[in-house]
Chains A and B, each alone.
Chain A
Amino acid sequence: MELSKILYVEDDPDIQSIAVMALETIGGLTLEVCSSGEDAIAKGDEFKPELILLDVMMPEMDGPTTLGRLREISSLSDVPAVFMTAKVTPEDVQSYKDMGVVDVIPKPFDPMTLADQVKEIWNKSHG
Chain B
Amino acid sequence: MADNDKTVEEKMAALRDNYARQMTSKIDEISSHVLLIAPHGKGTNDAIAAVRALTHKLAGSGATFGFKEVSIVAREMEDACSKVIEGNDDASGLADFLDKSLDALKEASDHPDVRKENSDEKKQDSKGSGTIDDRVIRNILVLEGDKKTRSQIVRELKHFGFVASGTSHPKNIAKAIKKQKPDALVCDIVFDGDDNAALGIISELHQSGGLDCPIIVHTEIDDMPHRLAAVRAGAHNYMVKPVDMADMIDVLDAVTADGEDDPFRVLIIDDDESLSRHTELVLQGAGMMTSVLNNPMTVIEVLNDFVPELILLDLYMPDCEGHEVAAIIRQQEAFDAIPIVFLSGERDVEKQLSAMELGGDDFLTKPIRPKHLISAVRIRASRFRELRSMMVKDSMTGLYNHTTTKQLMTNEIERAKRLNQSIAMASLDIDHFKNVNDTYGHAVGDKVIKSLARLLRQRLRGADIIGRMGGEEFAALLTGATIEEAEEIFNQIRQAFSEIVFNSDIKDFSVTFSCGIAEFPTHDSVSSLSDASDKALYTAKNGGRNKVVLA
Contacts and interface: CB of A to CB of B under 8 A. Distances in A.
A43 B280 CA distance: 19
Contact of A12 (B57, B75, B78, B273): B57
Contact of A87 (B61, B64, B78, B285): B78
Contact of B281 (A16, A87, A109): A16
B281 A20 contact: yes
B284 interface: yes
Contact of A35 (B12, B60, B274, B285): B274
B64 A39 contact: no
B285 A20 contact: yes
Contacts of B60: 12, 15, 85-87, 107-108
B440 interface: no
Contact of B11 (A12, A13, A21, A35): A21
A86 B56 contact: yes
B15 A18 contact: yes
B285 A21 contact: yes
Contacts of A110: 63-64
B277 A108 contact: no
Nearest to B62: A108
A123 B19 CA distance: 32
Given A12-B61, A20-B281, A35-B273, A111 B12 contact: yes
A19 to B, nearest CB: 8
B403 to A, nearest CB: 37
B385 to A, nearest CB: 24
Given A57-B56, A108-B60, A108-B64, A33 B12 contact: no
Interface string B248-286: 000000000000000000000000011001101100110
Interface residues of B, number: 28
Interface in B68-88: 71, 75, 78
A107 B281 CA distance: 20
A57 B60 CA distance: 11
A75 interface: no
Interface string A81-109: 00001110000000000000000000111
A107 B8 contact: no
B118 interface: no
Interface in A69-86: 85-86
Nearest to A86: B60
Interface in B31-60: 53, 56-57, 59-60
B79 to A, nearest CB: 9
A53 B57 CA distance: 17
A25 B19 contact: no
A15 B61 contact: yes
A66 to B, nearest CB: 15
Chain A interface size, as a band, is: 20 to 34
A14 interface: yes
A65 interface: no
A117 interface: no
B61 A39 contact: no
A33 B64 contact: no
Interface in B494-545: none
B490 interface: no
A17 interface: yes
A21 B56 contact: no
B22 interface: yes
B65 interface: yes
A3 interface: no
Nearest to A87: B56
Interface in A50-75: 57
A110 B284 CA distance: 19
Contacts of B277: 13, 16, 33, 35
B64 A25 contact: no
A15 to B, nearest CB: 5
A26 interface: yes
Given A15-B60, A107-B60, A108-B59, A33 B281 contact: yes
A15 B277 CA distance: 13
A81 to B, nearest CB: 18
B64 A17 contact: no
Contacts of B285: 17, 20-21, 24-25
A108 B63 contact: yes
A104 to B, nearest CB: 13
Interface in B8-32: 8, 11-12, 15, 18-19, 22
A108 B19 contact: no
A109 B285 CA distance: 18
Contacts of B59: 86-87, 107-108
A33 B278 CA distance: 8
A87 B336 CA distance: 49
Contacts of B65: 14, 18, 108
Contact of B71 (A18, A35, A108, A111): A108
Nearest to B64: A108
A89 B12 CA distance: 29
Contacts of A33: 277-278, 281
Contacts of B61: 12, 14-15, 18, 107-108
Given A14-B65, A86-B75, 7 more contacts: A12-B60, A14-B19, A15-B60, A17-B285, A18-B15, A87-B78, A111-B64
15 contacts: A12-B57, A12-B61, A13-B277, A15-B60, A17-B15, A20-B285, A25-B11, A86-B56, A86-B60, A87-B78, A107-B60, A107-B64, A108-B61, A108-B64, A108-B65
